[in-house]
Structure 1
Amino acid sequence: MPGCSWSKVAGVVALSAVFAGCSEPKGAASAQSAPTYTNPLLPSGPDPWITQVDGVYYYTHTLGDRIALWRTDNIAKLAQAERVDVWTAPETGPNGHSIWAPELHRIDGKWFLYYSATASGFTDDAHRGVFVLENAGPDPLQGEWIDRGRINTAHAGIDGTVFAYGGKRYFAYSPYTETDTSLAIAQMQDPWTLTGDETVIARPDQPWEQQGGRKIVEGPEFLAGPKGDLFLTYSASACWSDDYSLGLLHAAPGADPLDASAWKKSPQPVLKSANGVYATGHNGFFVSPDGKENWIIYHANSGPDMKCTQKRAPRIQRFDWSEDGWPQFGEPVATGVELPVPSGSR
């Protein structure tokens, strides 16, 4: 079609066409009228997380003293979503403040919230841990959240997540070890109890994991590859550095997640500052409502030297897979660029 072209922004191919001066067959929907969204989804939202169940999105992020859940059937309209504060930190105790990085998971028909917290009266890393809340009701925005306490990790740590693989359930987090933080995995006996030995699978041994004055790898997130590969993304360097970025660990199909030698680290970040977007980190994954697209959510700053504050905002973008079955995240899409909403959105 003369004069027509497809737009490509920051390595992500936009699925809507630019039809300046072009005509379409009668009855065809205009590509320009297709629903779109722009990043960021909210003006604030560090450590964002999305769970999509039956076409409904549940979203949460770090608030510091409580946990809130947003619910929407169109993630592009997150700013207009229903929001409920479902839990508030106690005034005293091992989970009294610094409520960070909540994640909502659906396990065996129940809802679980994993979050990082610090004991009241302390601000040091030695008093941080990962805690669990359970809700047996059908709606996570209602019902009673039961405090299941602190995960019995071998070290103080933050940023816990869970994943199932090979008929077993695993817990991954960022322990404070001989470095500032490492990445570790353990098997789970139930959604709030670990069993067996805990394995450190990665340490911040690369220069790009040591920016901002600390050696940090944190925020592990599991991603199953289309050919059976195991992937773990993680955030690298201090969160107040513009060089905060996402790294990637890989294990071959059939590998034992508790075997540290099975995990190989990509030599460079897989998502880093570009296109006016800085400090890309602390991600999660979700699929479109129709199950046809893979998406990543992460937080970032819209300018340099904005540090590690509530100004970090949630961003989403679609990603694809290479022929070898590896995730291809590309670059962060610039602020304000219109992109198609996840396929199957209402």
Structure 2
Amino acid sequence: MLTASWLRILLLLSGILTPTVELLAQVESKPASTFMNPLREDGPDPWVTRQGPYYYYTNTTGRNLTIWKTKALSEIAQVKPVVVWTPPATGMNSDAIWAPELHQLDGKWYFYYTATNKVNSSDNTRYVFVLENASADPTTGTWVDKGKINTRYSGLDGSVFEHGGQRYFLYSAYVGPQSVLAIAPMDNPWTLRAGKEVVLAQPTYAWEKGGGRQILEGPEFLPGRKGQLNIVYSASACWDDNYALGMLTAAEGSDLLRPESWRKAPQPVFRPSAQNGVWGTGHNSFTKSPDGREDWIVYHAKAAADGKCAGRSSRAQRFTWNPDGTPNFGEPASLLQPQPRPSGE
């Protein structure tokens, strides 16, 4: 019986298989070690979560809730999207479907999203809503409307996190002329504990007041490496080219519902790079590589300093950690710079 090696030699000698053809075949069969951003050309407010071997990715479409399911974070652009929900023709959640987040809680999937009323579309009527799905795969099954989250204020960009045995809801609340960060404990995935909502942070620095607005939005929880808890948020208006990520940090054992527990970084922790042609860096999520060894940030940014919200593409890059246990996001990479594929892909 001929082995594969002897068969290859015979084919080479016969001229059926040439060294060039063999080399090309070997190159084509070997997975690329890098990928190119963006993940999606049209990808504002990207969110990704990983369950089992799959990544479930979503971003703002404005008109529905859509999921991209893949085993490779770097290949989202090649995945066929699945529209899982479209808004009703009328009602509180009929328009401007923004900032979707997909979470698996208590054995079910929950889709948090921002929406407003088509009849009176404004910040005053903008709230966070949630859907529930008992299917193991969120791209299948039935999504049940669980209604509006009972926040104290109108607002957007809801997120959920569990810490110290308690589940928390975090969002960007419209308070006065600005948006602030507010937090509340949750009784279940669609209900906040009555009377416990607290405003954690307000815009105080110049880089949080760009674009003619005072805005803190897109908050995401991120555990630190030394027991602390971080909230990474987006600062300034989305049309401001210097839109950047700020961070709040609470020490291990802190009461997360006390504003004084949180220390705000005086400078952005992730900001635009004129040298790399990256603008409007913000509204991110965090995930791990398939083997769990690497930490990745998924965010949106623009390739032009044009003073617009449009043109936001979703991108991914690996981040590391500072000696004090806080994240080090580095600089946003140019779209021309190949990125190493997440380890384990």
TM-score by length of 2: 0.89
Q: In 1, Cα distance between the equivalents of 2:42 and 2:336?
A: 15
Note the C-alpha offset of 1:42. 1.3
What is aligned with 2:38? 40
Q: In 2, Cα distance between the equivalents of 1:97 and 1:57?
A: 27
Q: Deviations over 1:76-99 (max 9, x none)?
A: 111111310000011100001000
8 Å CA contact 2:282–2:300 kept in 1: the answer is yes
Q: In 2, Cα distance between the equivalents of 1:277 and 1:228?
A: 32
Q: SS at the partner of 1:212?
A: helix
Which structure's residues are more often helix, by fraction?
2
Q: In 2, Cα distance between the equivalents of 1:294 and 1:54?
A: 16
TM-score by length of 1: 0.89
What is aligned with 1:60? 58
What is aligned with 2:6? none
Q: In 1, Cα distance between the equivalents of 2:99 and 2:122?
A: 17
In the alignment, does 2:301 pair up with 1:322? no
What is aligned with 2:262? 263
Q: In 1, Cα distance between the equivalents of 2:184 and 2:190?
A: 12
What is aligned with 1:201? 200
Give runs of aligned pairs for residues 1-346 of structure 1, distance below 5 A: 34-196=32-194, 197-274=196-273, 275-305=276-306, 307-309=308-310, 311-345=311-345
Q: 1:290 corresponds to which letter in structure 2? A: D
Q: In 2, Cα distance between the equivalents of 1:326 and 1:217?
A: 20
Note the C-alpha offset of 1:188. 0.2
Q: 2:289 corresponds to which letter in structure 1? A: S
State the Cα RMSD in Å: 1.3
Q: 2:204 corresponds to which letter in structure 1? A: D
Q: Deviations over 1:22-70 (max 9, x none)?
A: xxxxxxx9xx975211111111110000011112110000011100000
Q: Deviations over 1:164-183 (max 9, x none)?
A: 00000000000001241000
Note the C-alpha offset of 1:122. 1.5
**Which structure is higher in RCO with an 8 Å CA cutoff and minimum separation 6?**
1
Unaligned runs of 5+ in 1: 1-28
Runs of 4+ in 1 over 6 A off after TM superposition: none
Q: In 1, Cα distance between the equivalents of 2:272 and 2:60?
A: 21
Q: Deviations over 1:266-325 (max 9, x none)?
A: 00111111010000010000011111100101000011115112x200011101111110
Q: SS at the partner of 1:82?
A: coil
Q: Deviations over 1:212-263 (max 9, x none)?
A: 0000000100001121110000000000010111000000001111111001
Q: 2:123 corresponds to which letter in structure 1? A: D
8 Å CA contact 1:133–1:147 kept in 2: the answer is yes
What is aligned with 1:16? none
Q: SS at the partner of 2:76?
A: helix
Aligned length: 314
Unaligned runs of 5+ in 2: 1-26
Q: In 2, Cα distance between the equivalents of 1:234 and 1:108?
A: 26
Q: In 1, Cα distance between the equivalents of 2:164 and 2:142?
A: 32
What is aligned with 2:21? none
Q: 1:202 corresponds to which letter in structure 2? A: A
Q: In 2, Cα distance between the equivalents of 1:228 and 1:55?
A: 27
8 Å CA contact 1:34–1:340 kept in 2: the answer is no
Q: In 1, Cα distance between the equivalents of 2:325 and 2:32?
A: 29
Q: In 2, Cα distance between the equivalents of 1:176 and 1:267?
A: 22
Note the C-alpha offset of 1:120. 2.1
8 Å CA contact 1:218–1:235 kept in 2: the answer is yes
8 Å CA contact 1:185–1:200 kept in 2: the answer is yes
8 Å CA contact 1:55–1:290 kept in 2: the answer is no
User: Relative to structure 2, which stretch is displaced further, 74-83 or 44-53?
Assistant: 74-83
Q: In 2, Cα distance between the equivalents of 1:322 and 1:33?
A: 32
Q: In 2, Cα distance between the equivalents of 1:117 and 1:276?
A: 32
8 Å CA contact 2:150–2:192 kept in 1: the answer is yes
Q: In 1, Cα distance between the equivalents of 2:189 and 2:252?
A: 25
Identity of aligned residues (%): 53
Note the C-alpha offset of 1:200. 0.3
What is aligned with 1:23? none
Q: In 2, Cα distance between the equivalents of 1:109 and 1:93?
A: 29
Q: SS at the partner of 1:216?
A: strand
Q: In 1, Cα distance between the equivalents of 2:33 and 2:55?
A: 17
